[in-house]
């Protein structure tokens, strides 16, 4: 049937009032968008929503859900839309048109459009949220005014008072800052942060007795804090003069706030600094742009601003977090990854296979999150893969990232590093897409496994365009041929010959027998099996060399916190018998970024190895409503994974949820509790 014939048949059915038949005809030929609209025309909202959502037309599904007043569908779609930025913006326009300004603001914010979100929040009367977005946009004076208005409506809002106090202190207005911080200190959850900054504000006002009184309040809670005012200020603000020291002179401080500790690296367009944020008491990495004027300088600034916009909009445990973009600097403030880069770790040759798998899987998870936001990285290389202090691996540096939904040209297509650059990037023959990043990942994986690049140079362009690298098995015989087929596809010259998605590569890697007992997936109640020898994990454990991979840090050696010397991360060792192993295997089937991971079962040693997530219990952490809502959504995702695996949790509460950098993590229950699915879901709602 031609398109014209199809259109005529659908028109005839519509004219006869047979809309449902017309919709079904559209579905048969794959025209889900028109089918959804036909169902909507006869007010069959459930069908209209279902068809649009199943086809990935989330903005259309959201529009139909609003028309139907379907709260459940609206809530579900608001959670899914942030993964589709272009559709989220369409949905935001529909929400604004219908007067749902708060939802429109949240959708804009999820796309990184914080300025638009701030304006919508203010129109909706959500002044705190508007102020928070202004603060994220670097508009501190506007944020301060909005926090003041928010406090006028709710004087007991400790979080607004704390944020206002920080902003006022940032501009040297210590007296009004002190008033705001005194209000914040009445909130038990904000007391410590408020008192810390109050000490500095009173000191800057030369009110040393008041500063000493605040310090004494802090020391009653934490006796280990310095008793001397100067020592306390030096410890928390890196200067014995406190805030006065932060705002005087030009001794390496940025924006009167960030004390530069050292230079971490430098390149043609900027440098990266390790600095101490005196206001938030944390180490940060600051990327500073330093280019000349003219067209080149403007282009560099545009790329830098794009990196800030992209990275600030990504919140994933395998993506480096961005705290602030200062356009006047210009500089970007990011979380400090204390473990350095993958490039540094590769200098000593190929790492153990367990570390290779950890790095590869973490990189793919981060890249998957990036691609879901419509972003192609375009500069994937070991220098842009970072390690945290706990051995976590994160993807960073989006300075040449390409937004799929901006329709930009191939100007700057040669950006990136030649050793990892796909052929189409070098020639500009086609627009970069997901396969472009996967080619670079193939180069990284090849180097991780063999210790050398697939194309060693120096003529990288000719090699990438014309030559075929030797199989990785030829470079490192003990690997066998298990990685050769996947690498051959990843390094294919034509994008159409490569895997089409990150998920496809991740599943292919999971299917490979890595030959390391620490990496065997926990899948069956009989115990994980070696696919080549058919042995259970317990049987394989008995053949392990007695190497002390786990170095005790707390506990008696077989239990407690230990250092995983292979991956450089802290883990939790707990007793484990056959019964608990069977329970943990069931939990491991629900593995996800927001559920504590089961890393290993060693039945011979009678122990299990669990992830030790970074963070503080939800009940102890200073938090905003936004933080709580985000944590609740992430915990719900973990609980739904458990339920899909056929198990329930039964012990969900603030004590079992850790809020850490970029994510909430639900701790595993010790044993089966007999809880029902409804009881789990009710516990999540109470968080």
Q: Mind listing the pLDDT tens digit for each residue in 635-678?
A: 988 898 888 888 899 889 888 888 876 678 899 988 887 888 88
Tell me the pLDDT band of 414, cut-offs 50, 70 and 90. very low
What was the pLDDT predicted at 268? 61
β-sheet bridge partners, residue 574: 608
Q: Which of 324, 601, 632, 364 is nearest to 504 (CA)?
A: 364
Q: Which of 43, 44, 61 is nearest to 52 (CA)?
A: 61
| Phi/psi of residue 266, nearest 5 degrees | -150, 150
- Within 10 angstroms of residue 209's Cβ, the number of other Cβ atoms is 7
Averaged pLDDT for residues 9-20: 86
Tell me the pLDDT band of 528, cut-offs 50, 70 and 90. very low
Distance (Å, whole) CA 395 – CA 310: 13
What was the pLDDT predicted at 250? 45
Whole-number percent of the chain with pLDDT over 70: 82
Q: Which two tokens stand for residue 290?
A: 């330093």
Distance (Å, whole) CA 115 – CA 101: 14
Distance (Å, whole) CA 275 – CA 591: 35
Distance (Å, whole) CA 162 – CA 181: 6
Tell me the pLDDT band of 461, cut-offs 50, 70 and 90. confident
Q: Which of 408, 437, 549, 558 is nearest to 499 (CA)?
A: 437
Averaged pLDDT for residues 270-297: 74
Q: Which of 399, 388, 210, 215 is nearest to 307 (CA)?
A: 399
137 is known as an active-site residue:
no
Distance (Å, whole) CA 278 – CA 197: 9
DSSP state of 177: H
Distance (Å, whole) CA 560 – CA 17: 70
DSSP string of 218-238?
A: HHHH-TTS-SSHHHHHHHHHS
Q: Per-residue pLDDT for 222 more than 50?
A: yes
* Domain 3-244 homologous superfamily, CATH: Tetratricopeptide repeat domain (1.25.40.10)
Cα distances from 198 to residues 334, 360, 481, in angstroms, run 26, 45, 63
What was the pLDDT predicted at 429? 72
Distance (Å, whole) CA 261 – CA 557: 36
Per-residue pLDDT of 354-370, as tens digits, reads 889 989 999 999 998 88
Per-residue pLDDT of 156-211, as tens digits, reads 899 999 999 988 887 778 888 999 999 999 988 889 889 988 998 888 888 888 88
69-78, 90-99, 517-526, 579-588: segment of lowest average pLDDT: 517-526
Q: Are 91 and 107 in contact (CB under 8 A)?
A: yes
Q: Per-residue pLDDT for 518 more than 60?
A: no
Cα distances from 168 to residues 146, 244, 289, 553, in angstroms, run 13, 13, 27, 42
Asked if the 616-686 domain carries CATH number 1.10.510.10, the reply is: yes
Distance (Å, whole) CA 6 – CA 12: 10
Distance (Å, whole) CA 539 – CA 463: 46
52-61, 62-71, 551-560: segment of lowest average pLDDT: 551-560
3-class DSSP state for residue 459?
Answer: coil
Distance (Å, whole) CA 625 – CA 146: 17
Distance (Å, whole) CA 111 – CA 87: 10
Q: Which two tokens stand for residue 197?
A: 């900054």
Determine the distance from the C-alpha atom of residue 242 to the mean position of all C-alpha atoms in its chain, rounded to a whole number: 33
Kind and range of the H or E run holding 164: helix 158-170
What was the pLDDT predicted at 552? 82
What was the pLDDT predicted at 330? 77
Distance (Å, whole) CA 65 – CA 43: 11
β-sheet bridge partners, residue 617: 658
Which one of 51-55, 344-348, 394-398, 534-538 scores highest in mean pLDDT?
A: 51-55
Those residues with Cβ within 8 angstroms of residue 237's Cβ, 6 or more apart along the chain or in another chain = 200, 243, 245, 246, 278
Mean pLDDT rounded to a whole number for the chain: 81
DSSP state of 654: G
What was the pLDDT predicted at 530? 34
Q: Is the pTM of this model over 0.75?
A: no
| Phi/psi of residue 132, nearest 5 degrees | -60, -40
| Phi/psi of residue 412, nearest 5 degrees | 80, 20
3-class DSSP state for residue 658?
Answer: strand
Q: Of residues 257 and 634, which shows the higher confidence score?
A: 634
Q: Are 550 and 539 in contact (CB under 8 A)?
A: no
Residues 340-506, CATH architecture: Orthogonal Bundle (1.10)
Distance (Å, whole) CA 524 – CA 534: 13
Q: Which of 70, 75, 29, 27 is nearest to 52 (CA)?
A: 27
- Matching fold, domains 249-335 and 517-611: yes
Per domain, the residue ranges of the chain are: 3-244, 249-335, 340-506, 517-611, 616-686
Q: Which of 323, 320, 322, 325 is nearest to 337 (CA)?
A: 320
Tell me the pLDDT band of 433, cut-offs 50, 70 and 90. confident
Q: What is the CATH number of domain 517-611?
A: 3.30.200
Per-residue pLDDT of 551-578, as tens digits, reads 887 665 567 888 877 666 778 888 888 8
What was the pLDDT predicted at 544? 38
Q: Per-residue pLDDT for 412 more than 50?
A: no
DSSP state of 404: G
Q: What is the CA radius of gyration of the chain?
A: 27
Distance (Å, whole) CA 341 – CA 387: 6
Tally of CA atoms within 13 A in the half-sphere of 26 that contains its CB: 25
Q: Which of 281, 263, 280 is nearest to 272 (CA)?
A: 263
DSSP state of 89: H
What sign does the CA torsion over 549, 554, 555, 561 have? negative
Residue 206 region by backbone torsions, left for phi larger than 0, else alpha for psi between -120 and 50, else beta: left
What was the pLDDT predicted at 532? 32
What was the pLDDT predicted at 161? 93
3-class DSSP state for residue 616?
Answer: strand
Q: Which two tokens stand for residue 330?
A: 């210009």
Q: Per-residue pLDDT for 408 more than 50?
A: no
Per-residue pLDDT of 462-517, as tens digits, reads 888 988 999 999 988 888 899 999 999 999 999 999 998 998 999 999 889 886 43
SS3 content of the chain, % helix, strand, coil (to 5): 50, 15, 35
- Cβ-in-10-Å burial (0-12, 13-18, 19+) of 302 comes to exposed
β-sheet bridge partners, residue 293: none
- Within 10 angstroms of residue 261's Cβ, the number of other Cβ atoms is 15
Per-residue pLDDT of 126-160, as tens digits, reads 999 999 998 887 788 889 999 999 998 898 899 99
Distance (Å, whole) CA 365 – CA 329: 32
Distance (Å, whole) CA 567 – CA 164: 41
The total number of residues shown for the chain amounts to: 687
Q: Where are the beta strands (DSSP E) in 576-638?
A: 598-602, 607-611, 616-617
Query: Which entry of 157, 379, 397, 564 is annotated as an active-site residue?
Result: 379
What was the pLDDT predicted at 303? 64
Q: Are 276 and 259 in contact (CB under 8 A)?
A: yes
Q: Where are the alpha helices (DSSP H) in 389-534?
A: 423-427, 434-450, 460-466, 472-475, 484-490, 502-511
Per CATH, which fold does 249-335 belong to?
Phosphorylase Kinase; domain 1 (3.30.200)
Tally of CA atoms within 13 A in the half-sphere of 322 that contains its CB: 26
Q: Which of 302, 482, 410, 375 is nearest to 86 (CA)?
A: 375
Distance (Å, whole) CA 595 – CA 613: 9
């Amino acid at each position: 049937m031609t398109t014209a014939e199809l259109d005529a048949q659908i028109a005839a059915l519509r004219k006869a009032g047979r809309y449902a038949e017309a919709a079904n005809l559209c579905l048969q030929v794959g025209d889900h968008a028109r089918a959804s609209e036909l169902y909507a025309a006869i007010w069959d909202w459930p069908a209209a929503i279902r068809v649009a959502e199943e086809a990935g037309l989330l903005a259309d599904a959201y529009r139909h859900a609003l028309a139907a007043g379907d709260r459940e569908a609206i809530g579900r779609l608001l959670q899914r839309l942030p993964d589709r930025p272009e559709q989220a913006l369409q949905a935001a326009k529909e929400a604004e048109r219908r007067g749902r300004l708060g939802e429109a603001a949240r959708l804009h914010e999820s796309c990184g459009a914080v300025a638009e979100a701030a304006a919508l929040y203010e129109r909706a009367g959500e002044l705190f949220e508007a102020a928070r977005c202004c603060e994220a946009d670097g508009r501190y004076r506007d944020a301060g005014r909005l926090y003041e208005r928010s406090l006028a409506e709710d004087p007991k809002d400790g979080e607004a008072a704390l944020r206002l106090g920080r902003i006022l202190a940032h501009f040297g207005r210590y007296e009004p800052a002190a008033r705001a911080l005194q209000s914040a200190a009445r909130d038990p959850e904000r007391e410590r942060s408020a008192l810390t900054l109050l000490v500095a504000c009173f000191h800057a006002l030369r009110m040393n007795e008041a500063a000493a009184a605040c310090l004494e309040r802090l020391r009653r809670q934490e006796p280990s804090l310095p008793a001397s005012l100067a020592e306390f200020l030096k410890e928390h603000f890196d200067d014995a003069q406190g805030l006065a020291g932060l705002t005087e002179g030009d001794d390496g401080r940025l924006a009167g706030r960030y004390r530069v500790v050292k230079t971490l690296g430098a390149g043609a367009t900027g440098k990266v600094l390790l600095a101490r944020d005196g206001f938030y008491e944390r180490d940060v990495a600051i990327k500073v742009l330093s280019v000349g004027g003219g067209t080149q300088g403007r282009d560099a600034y545009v790329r830098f601003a794009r990196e800030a916009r992209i990275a600030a909009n990504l919140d994933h445990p395998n993506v480096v977090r961005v705290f602030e973009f200062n356009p006047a600097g210009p500089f970007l403030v990011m979380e400090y990854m204390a473990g350095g880069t993958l490039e540094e770790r590769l200098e000593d040759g190929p790492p153990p296979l367990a570390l290779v798998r950890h790095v590869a899987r973490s990189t793919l998870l981060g890249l998957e999150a990036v691609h879901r936001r419509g972003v192609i990285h375009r500069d994937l290389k070991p220098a842009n893969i970072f390690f945290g202090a706990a051995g976590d691996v994160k993807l960073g540096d989006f300075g040449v990232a390409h937004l799929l939904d901006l329709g930009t040209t191939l100007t700057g297509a040669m950006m990136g590093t030649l050793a990892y650059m796909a052929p189409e990037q070098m020639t500009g023959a086609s627009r970069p897409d997901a396969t472009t990043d996967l080619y670079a990942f193939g180069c990284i994986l090849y180097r991780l496994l063999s210790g050398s690049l697939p194309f060693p140079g120096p003529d990288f362009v000719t090699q990438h365009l014309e030559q075929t690298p030797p199989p990785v098995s030829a470079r490192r015989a003990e690997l066998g041929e298990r990685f050769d087929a996947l690498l051959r596809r990843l390094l294919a010259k034509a994008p159409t010959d490569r895997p089409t998605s990150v998920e496809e590569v991740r599943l292919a890697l999971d299917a490979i027998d890595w030959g390391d007992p620490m990496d065997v997936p926990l899948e069956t109640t009989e115990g994980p099996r070696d696919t080549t020898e058919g042995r259970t994990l317990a049987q394989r454990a008995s053949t392990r060399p007695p190497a002390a991979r786990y170095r005790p840090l707390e506990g008696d050696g077989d239990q407690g916190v230990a250092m995983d010397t292979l991956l450089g991360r802290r883990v939790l060792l707990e007793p484990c018998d056959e019964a608990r192993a069977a329970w943990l295997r069931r939990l491991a089937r629900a593995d996800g970024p927001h559920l504590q991971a089961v890393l290993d079962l060693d039945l011979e040693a009678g122990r299990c190895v669990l992830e030790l997530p970074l963070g503080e219990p939800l009940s102890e952490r200073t938090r905003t409503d936004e933080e709580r809502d985000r944590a609740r959504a992430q915990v719900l995702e973990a609980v739904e994974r458990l339920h899909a695996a056929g198990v329930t949790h039964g012990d969900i509460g603030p004590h079992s949820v850790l809020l850490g950098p970029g994510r909430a993590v639900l701790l595993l229950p010790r044993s089966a509790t007999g809880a029902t699915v409804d009881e789990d879901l009710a516990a999540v709602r109470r968080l």
